[in-house]
C-alpha cells in the first residue's frame, strides 16, 4: 500500500508585509519557499478565515515560491472584520495586484472551499495568468449549495449542532438563517454580535471533518477569529458572493487549456460533491479525485495526500 503524503516541514516566510490595495484596505502577505522558483498563490477559505502557517507546508519549498495572504478584513489584514468594499471582485483585483507587484507573468492558483470559489472567479477572469489550478472542496456558491448548508440539508445529519446554530435567532429568523444572522452580525449590540459570531463559526468548525476533531475545531471557538469569520462569510453569502446563479459552472469553458486537479471528499458536508463533479465534466483538463472516507477539511489524510501529490506533480 502506498504511503499517504503529508505536509512538508514547518517553514518561515522569507518576506512578509502589508500591501495597500485601495478602498482603505491593506492586506497582509507572505512569501515562502525559494525566491525565483515556480510561483504559486494560495487562497484561503471562509471567506474570512485567514491563513495558517500550515498552509505554507502544502508546497515543496525547494521548487516553489508561494504567496499567501489574508483576504480583506481578516487575519492580519486591516481594517479587521470590515465589510466595506469587500466583495469577490475586490478580492480578484487584489490577487492581480499581488501578481503584478511580485512580477509573475503566470502563477499556479491553489484554493480550497471558499478559496476554490475565489480561484475559479480569478481564473475565469484572468485565464492567461494561471499556469495550473488546484481546487479542494469545490464550492460554486449556487443557491442550492447555500440552502443545503444553511437551511435544509446538513441539519438533517447534525440536528444537535443545528439546534445550537439556530439558538441566537428568533423563531421568525430561523426560516432564513443567513438573513437573520446578518441583522445580528451588523447590528449595534456588541454582546449579541459576538454571540452570533461564535455560533455561526462553531457550526462550520464542527461540521467540516468526517469525524469530530476538537484540535482542528479549536480556532473556530475563539471570539476574535469568529468575529471576522462570521461577519465576512455571512456578508458574502447574503449577497451570493456577487455572482450570478451558476456563473462559475457556466463559465468553466474559460478554463480550457489550464491543467488542474480537483480534490473533493465524498462526505463533504458544506460542499456537496455533485458540484465538484459538474465542474469536472465541464473542465476536462483537470484530474478529478473523489476521496472516500473524507469530509471537507484539507487535513483529512486522503485529501491532504492528493493535494501534496498535485503540488509535487506541477512543481517540475
3-state class of 53 per DSSP?
A: helix
Exposure string of 300-313, with b = 16+ CB inside 10 Å and e = fewer, is bebbbbbbbbbbee
Q: What does the block give as the cell for 13?
A: 516566510
Phi/psi of residue 162, each to 5°?
Answer: -65, -40
Whether the bond into 47 is cis, omega within 30 of 0 = yes
**According to CATH, where is 3.40.50.1820 located in the chain?**
15-142+244-314
126 among known catalytic residues: no
Q: What does the block give as the cell for 75?
A: 487575519
Total residue count of the chain as it appears in this document: 316
End-to-end CA distance of the chain: 25
Distance CA 196, CA 205 (A): 14
| Sign of the torsion formed by the C-alpha atoms of 177, 112, 210 and 48 | negative
**Residue among 113, 116, 155, 201 flagged as catalytic:** 113
Nearest alpha-carbon partner for 102 in 70, 75, 65 = 65
* The pLDDT value given to residue 299: 94
Nearest alpha-carbon partner for 91 in 23, 32, 30, 142 = 23
**Residue among 268, 280, 289, 305 flagged as catalytic:** 268
253 among known catalytic residues: no
Phi/psi of residue 307, each to 5°?
Answer: -65, -45
* The pLDDT value given to residue 42: 99
* The pLDDT value given to residue 213: 86
> What is the DSSP annotation of 43-93?
E-STTTT---GGGGGGS-TTTEEEEEEPPTTSTT-BSTT--TT-SHHHHHH
Alpha helices in 240-289 (DSSP H): 247-250, 273-282
How open is the CA angle 108-264-134, to the nearest 5 degrees? Answer: 5
Distance CA 36, CA 217 (A): 36
For strands 38-43 and 107-112, give the pairing: parallel
Q: What is the mean pLDDT of each run of 10 residues along the chain (316 residues)?
A: 90 98 98 98 98 98 98 98 98 98 98 98 98 98 98 96 97 97 97 96 94 85 94 98 98 98 98 98 97 96 98 95
Phi/psi of residue 276, each to 5°?
Answer: -65, -40
* The pLDDT value given to residue 24: 98
User: Which residues make beta-bridge pairs with 65?
Assistant: 33, 39
Q: What does the block give as the cell for 58?
A: 502544502
Phi/psi of residue 270, each to 5°?
Answer: -65, -30
289 among known catalytic residues: no
> The whole model's pTM is what?
0.98
Q: Which fold has domain 15-142+244-314?
A: Rossmann fold (3.40.50)
**Residue among 25, 44, 264, 296 flagged as catalytic:** 296
Amino acid at each position: 500500500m502506498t504511503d499517504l503524503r503529508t505536509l512538508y516541514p514547518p517553514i518561515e516566510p522569507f518576506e512578509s508585509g502589508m500591501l495597500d490595495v485601495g478602498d482603505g484596505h491593506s492586506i497582509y502577505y507572505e512569501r515562502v519557499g525559494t525566491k525565483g522558483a515556480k510561483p504559486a498563490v494560495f487562497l484561503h477559505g471562509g471567506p474570512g478565515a485567514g491563513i495558517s502557517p500550515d498552509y505554507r507546508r502544502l508546497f515543496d519549498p525547494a521548487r516553489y515560491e508561494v504567496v499567501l495572504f489574508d483576504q480583506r478584513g481578516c487575519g492580519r489584514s486591516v481594517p479587521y472584520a470590515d465589510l466595506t468594499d469587500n466583495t469577490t471582485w475586490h478580492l480578484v483585483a487584489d490577487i492581480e495586484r499581488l501578481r503584478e507587484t511580485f512580477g509573475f507573468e503566470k502563477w499556479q492558483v491553489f484554493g480550497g472551499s471558499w478559496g476554490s470559489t475565489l480561484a475559479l472567479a480569478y481564473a475565469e477572469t484572468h485565464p492567461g495568468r494561471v499556469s495550473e489550478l488546484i481546487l479542494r472542496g469545490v464550492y460554486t456558491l449556487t443557491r442550492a449549495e447555500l440552502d443545503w448548508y444553511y437551511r435544509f440539508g446538513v441539519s438533517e445529519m447534525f440536528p444537535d449542532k443545528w439546534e445550537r446554530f439556530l439558538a441566537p435567532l428568533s423563531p421568525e429568523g430561523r426560516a432564513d438563517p443567513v438573513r437573520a444572522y446578518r441583522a445580528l452580525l451588523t447590528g449595534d449590540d456588541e454582546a449579541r454580535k459576538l454571540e452570533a459570531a461564535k455560533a455561526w463559526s462553531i457550526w462550520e468548525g464542527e461540521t467540516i471533518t468526517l469525524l469530530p476533531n476538537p484540535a482542528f475545531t479549536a480556532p473556530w471557538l475563539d471570539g476574535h477569529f469568529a468575529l471576522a469569520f462570521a461577519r465576512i462569510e455571512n456578508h458574502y453569502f447574503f449577497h451570493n458572493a456577487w455572482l450570478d446563479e451558476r456563473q462559475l459552472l457556466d463559465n468553466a469553458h474559460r478554463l480550457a487549456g489550464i491543467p488542474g486537479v480537483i480534490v473533493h471528499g465524498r462526505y463533504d458536508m458544506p460542499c456537496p460533491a455533485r458540484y465538484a463533479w459538474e465542474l469536472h465534466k465541464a473542465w476536462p483538463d483537470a484530474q478529478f479525485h473523489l476521496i472516500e472516507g473524507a469530509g471537507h477539511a484539507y487535513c483529512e489524510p486522503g485529501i491532504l495526500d492528493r493535494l501534496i501529490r498535485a503540488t509535487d506533480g506541477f512543481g517540475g
